[in-house]
Structure 1
């Protein structure tokens, strides 16, 4: 009986660990997506060397 309990306890711990790791993985993936979106927004704000619009940092710098 004690061995059965120990096996169930070990299985419960394994399942809990897997669940927690799954939650961490989901959080990491969400942060990666946010980072990618932020990097894309930064490119739009900064602009490129070819930008002449004045609506980006590079475009404004070229107007000086």
Structure 2
């Protein structure tokens, strides 16, 4: 397996990375938002907001 950051052979100690440096580079990318999970379509968000609003208005 190769390191996803630099393509060198991975080191079992830092798997799947080759070194602490590459592991830290990957962590930094997650923390600063370089990696992102795609959001759902805005229509779906509006529907969800409407459903949530309905739920909060119902007596429990």
- TM-score normalised to structure 1 length: 0.30
- More relative contact order in 1 or in 2 (CA 8 Å, sep 6+)? 2
- TM-score normalised to structure 2 length: 0.31
Higher Rg? 1
